[in-house]
Chains A and B, each alone.
Chain A
């Protein structure tokens, strides 16, 4: 699609959308958001790019094949559940650790967040895959 309005808008919107997607993903544990919403948002950013410029351009931008993104996401989500096995706890028991960060205060990191990142990858991969395939037709 060759439209100056779209191109200009996309250039500004895409980084914003991506940034927002990551914010939504990360804050999801405490405030509205999470991997599903974040993944959809990121897919929307890349979908916008694919429609405005070209699917090939979006592919280069994402740099990772959506198929691999899906696989990586599934592995990450399932793998995050395996962590608890090392402590002799059942599959998918939440594991948390506290990182002291100077100036910001302690940061809590846990397997559930890793799981959410996996959800993010799968949702983003599947949605991008479908949008791009349709746009290519």
Chain B
């Protein structure tokens, strides 16, 4: 069933465009039924999973390599599965309304479904190879989603950037997972989770950690790979909500959480993960604070939230993991809601710049209310889930009583203050104050656009009001899924008079101050703006340019466009490599009994030699062709003499057709001329003689060494009995080695079509060479 839940998404993605074509404007609602059903399906697991059961499904894929298509559902997978399918349903409805009438809406829906299915597969996967396949599928489908408006160059560039960064991390991840499998003796995550001691003592622990972290950090947009996420805002809003709130960017967080019990707890883990997380949290929050575009603010604050999650997983204590899960849930809800609100605002007013927005509560009251709720959660105010998330975050950081812990606390409070200011900017500022002029006259958004924000913000309120009844079981089973032991989780709005409450107070005061003094502060910080020239995206651009330059250089060196140069390269390389192997491994030897060559064979050989010299020295093309023909027919005669009629027949035919072809070509060629300098000809002669010498040496070696028993007797014995044919040559071609022949005729077909298209290619005057 688990596998069916994953693969049904892909199947639906294939037919989505047709459903859209039939159902038109209702398609979003119809397609959303599937993820909604999945949500209920997974909700049915909450009870059993909370009581400690896990579900698994395995199908042997490549058993000889230990690779299986196996899925596994525990608390952690369940939380993610619920988020993916639940938010997926809302996003599909939203996209149908937001992109109403777009000619490629069906395609967008297909991509969204494919993305949801990949993400589900990722969080449910048990086998690491299965996990990796789905990991890459999410990269591919997010590439398609970000580049949805493929006619805009910036969308294409952002899509490619996201793909390159995450795929590069994906490669590192693959290496890391394989090493992990080697160290732990299994490719199944459920088994690896019990191998903590073995893996952490393994000499490869360092490389494993580094490679897996590289994968997780690129996917979850940690500094210094954070730049692709804001650039991915080129995607339609529904997509950004989906990619950045619930799913794709949280894949890295999921992976860290999943592997925490295996890899975590060491100093290397704690320091690396916590430091990267903290840096990302602060950089993201500050960059978000600086922006004025609603989507960009949200994107950078997502980067920051991911940093917070990574930081908490880096600490890895029971309390920190619990905080991470509450924070993750709260963030997914409010961030998705705010993204959807930002899209609705953009849709209705035509701008996303907060400086031009104000007073929208009069014309969009429903959207405004949802935005306000979500913003309150983001700011970390009671009674929403965001408040509990922030409080547990503070608790977890305070728990580490050391100098580093103090620094972490300061960083946490600082980022929370920035969050407070950002929340006001995105969730309140566009809706309060006096109404401003906008490119479009705003109306209340349609149902499809405000349904999502309302459900999400309402859920955040509901979970915040009654955390003990609702969020607690889910969170505790998730924490149990990560840590492997049932934790003590108690979530409440009011924790008593504690330092945490004091920090919350400081946060609110500081946040208000930051919001009020935003312009003055930014002016002060503008002295640092030249620093942005050294930002990570510059490094990305630079390395991309470097790669292109390298490609151009090697193309210039290797692809000169002259046939003679290619021939020279190919032959010289063959002679060098094969000749080296021949001399170093076998040596040149004369077969026992010496060489006895009858006179008629010798005369044939002499004929070939003379014809070759004539072809080289000839001053007319026709003469050269005729001489080559003599060479070819003489070789065919040799085949006849040695009892190979099949080869001889093919050789005769090829020679005859070659003459026809050459005659047809000669007709078009310019007059014969000598292009090569004498020096070049000496070089060519040396290469040719070496090639001839190599072949001679090879034939002699083949005749005198018998390293392997000859296979011809096998063919002779089995040709008639097993393959119903007495012509061994043909039986080899069409039966024993038919797969080779299939490959050869495929190459032949490709080459033929290549020749055809080159001949039919009419280069314009300008680009003809």
A58, CB-defined interface residue at 8 Å: no
B653-671 vs A, Cβ < 8 Å mask (1 yes, 0 no): 1101100110011001000
A70 near B734 with CB under 8 A, answer no
B730 near A29 with CB under 8 A, answer yes
A130, CB-defined interface residue at 8 Å: yes
CB within 8 Å of A: which B712-760 residues = 722-727, 729-731, 733-735, 738-739, 741-742, 745-746, 748-749, 751-753, 755-756, 759-760
Q: Which residue of B lies closest to A128 (CB)?
A: B752
Query: Given A29-B724, A78-B742, A92-B738: A40 and B653 within 8 A (CB)?
Result: yes
Q: How many residues of B contact A (CB 8 A)?
A: 40
A10, CB-defined interface residue at 8 Å: no
Residues of A near B724 (CB, < 8 A) are 29, 94, 96, 108, 110, 112
B725 near A112 with CB under 8 A, answer yes
Nearest CB in chain A: distance from B652 CB, A: 9
**Count of A-B contacts judged by CB separation below 8 Å:** 139
Q: Which of A37, A113, A115 contacts B650 (CB 8 A)?
A: A37
Residues of A near B729 (CB, < 8 A) are 32, 34
Residues of B near A135 (CB, < 8 A) are 664
A89 to B660, CA, bound (A): 44
Q: Is the interface of B mostly helix, strand, loop or mixed?
A: helix
A137 near B759 with CB under 8 A, answer yes
Query: Given A110-B724, A123-B748: A44 and B755 within 8 A (CB)?
Result: no
A127 to B733, CA, bound (A): 19
Query: Given A40-B653, A44-B653, A112-B723: A133 and B745 within 8 A (CB)?
Result: no
Query: Given A108-B724, A133-B756, A134-B759: A37 and B646 within 8 A (CB)?
Result: yes
A127 to B748, CA, bound (A): 10
B623, CB-defined interface residue at 8 Å: no
Nearest CB in chain B: distance from A38 CB, A: 9
Residues of A near B748 (CB, < 8 A) are 122-123, 126
B664 near A94 with CB under 8 A, answer no
CB within 8 Å of A: which B480-525 residues = none
Residues of A near B23 (CB, < 8 A) are none
B185, CB-defined interface residue at 8 Å: no
Residues of A near B731 (CB, < 8 A) are 29, 112
B649, CB-defined interface residue at 8 Å: yes
Q: Which of A37, A91, A118 contacts B653 (CB 8 A)?
A: A37
B645, CB-defined interface residue at 8 Å: yes
Q: Which residue of B lies closest to A78 (CB)?
A: B742
Q: Which of B722, B725, B727, B752 contacts A130 (CB 8 A)?
A: B752
Nearest CB in chain B: distance from A109 CB, A: 9
A43 near B734 with CB under 8 A, answer no
A114-128 vs B, Cβ < 8 Å mask (1 yes, 0 no): 011011001101110
Given pairs A29-B734, A119-B741, 6 additional interface contacts (CB within 8 A): A28-B730, A71-B749, A119-B733, A122-B745, A129-B755, A135-B664
21 pairs, CB–CB < 8 Å, chain A vs chain B: A29-B726, A30-B725, A34-B646, A34-B729, A34-B734, A37-B646, A40-B657, A43-B657, A67-B753, A70-B753, A92-B739, A112-B725, A115-B742, A116-B733, A122-B749, A123-B745, A125-B749, A126-B748, A129-B756, A134-B665, A137-B664
Residues of chain A having any CB pair with chain B under 8 Å: 24, 28-37, 40-41, 43-44, 47, 51, 67, 70-71, 73-74, 77-78, 81, 91-92, 94, 96, 108, 110, 112-113, 115-116, 118-119, 122-123, 125-127, 129-131, 133-135, 137
